[in-house]
Chains A and B, each alone.
Chain A
């Protein structure tokens, strides 16, 4: 299978690889996928409490090149967005940006799910006002 230049670029130079403190109250963590399906994405956002803007985003992905590229791209797009703007990101935008073929659309769906899971985790922490540690089950 041939990969698009953008997928190759993200694979060779993944943006924002790493981890944030998942116990911090202003960090939301989303882990989606399953090892036996061949894809697991962990996506984290750090939100500025006053502005509501995502000031840091990090990812780690176990998966094919398109899954790595989808999550890498997602972290680029998340930074600077408000939480609500982040929730509006659609998997189809990722498909278009990376020119993903039909068999790789599930990678973009997973990235959208990871964004929603991370934001959901952040919102949950805000509501409870406690420093609840994130778990994969919340995804």
Chain B
């Protein structure tokens, strides 16, 4: 076992060696521009791009022509929201999304609000899932788009996508989903789920960084987008710019591997994750799981260790790479807005750790991480005035704190 251990696979994943092998020729001898139509260099590049398009489409139940390449999921999300808002402005100006979306959705929505689009941010229940009745009630005759993420990047909860898709279809509203964390990890099918637009990213599925895709439905309905970047009219005019051929080839290969290995891999992820969870819960009191365990990615565990501050915990487990929902680790000095949206309370948000298991984690690593976390939490609780007060029977919610 090598240290440090990487267990932050929601942030990014290591590139699978098979993906890297696929990419290398397109940096070297096959360096052509996929848009060069009159020589072999261009044809080779185009062939690689079209192979990747098929591989990606196959993973999500789409057809190759419905895949638009981008620089990553942030761009895909921007293109989906802004492109729909602009293209369908005459039909309506209302978009519905959720409070726990990724910043690439929330900040895009905020930008659109400045341009006269009305946005509804649905709250989530304590388990992190949206309430379908609230979604139905939020829909108006001006609603043009619903954007709800497939699976959350912090707490791993999987939204009722099929039901949301059904509601949108009934109301003839476009449905976009940020599928970054879900694609390649759990089965996603744009036909069965009634998804009109879907964002995905290479580097979350053992592919390269700097490449992503947007699925744009071509039939029933045919979705149109206003391009957000002007240029050569690549990608059916929706996204100009010379294609990142090595990245695209890598993304395609990553999707092909995911499709072939998903069922076995997700079982293994769930086994490792549950082992980690069970040990932590068995050996530590006052430890809480954030978000639904039932509707959750197999590789995610987000857990709050009450009375222990997240950053100090990360400091103690410095040979394990995980992330914390605590304010101190982020630039904003605000604890995780996702955990706050669950109503967990800021104190539990400060005490949370996100474990993201991945393809290359082993059972030995999970055992090591569990033991390490348990020993550091115990040590920090010895240091914690809050833990001491609770053990003395003091109700922390009744204490008058001096906020600073």
Contact = CB atoms under 8 A, between A and B. Distances in A.
Contact of A65 (B312, B384, B386, B402): B312
Contacts of B402: 31-34, 113, 136, 139
B403 A34 contact: yes
A110 B401 contact: no
Interface stretch (A55-63, A79-87, A121-129): A55-63
B315 A19 contact: no
B401 A14 contact: no
Interface string A38-80: 1111100000000000000000111111011000000000000
B350 A41 contact: no
Interface string B363-398: 000000000000000000011111110000000100
Contacts of B315: 3, 11, 64-65
A35 B401 contact: yes
A86 B333 CA distance: 30
A6 interface: no
Contacts, number: 98
A113 B312 contact: no
A37 B311 contact: no
Nearest to B379: A14
Given A64-B309, A106-B404, A35 B384 contact: no
Interface in B297-319: 307-312, 315-316
B359 to A, nearest CB: 28
Contacts of B333: 103
B179 interface: no
Nearest to B394: A136
Q: Provide the main secondary structure of the chain A interface.
A: mixed
A38 B403 contact: no
Contact of A35 (B311, B328, B350, B388): B350
A109 B402 CA distance: 13
B315 to A, nearest CB: 4
Nearest to A43: B385
Contacts of A37: 327, 346, 403-404
A36 B345 CA distance: 7
B400 interface: yes
Interface in B29-74: none
A96 B59 CA distance: 55
Point out which of B310, B329, B400 has the most chain A C-beta atoms below 10 A from its C-beta. Answer: B400
Nearest to B311: A64
6 contacts: A19-B388, A31-B402, A33-B401, A33-B403, A33-B404, A40-B401
Interface of B: 307-312, 315-316, 326-329, 333, 335, 345-347, 350, 382-388, 396, 399-404
Closest 6 CB pairs of A and B: A34-B401, A36-B346, A42-B385, A35-B347, A64-B311, A60-B385
Interface of A: 1, 3, 11, 14, 17, 19, 31-42, 60-65, 67-68, 103, 106, 109-110, 113, 136-137, 139
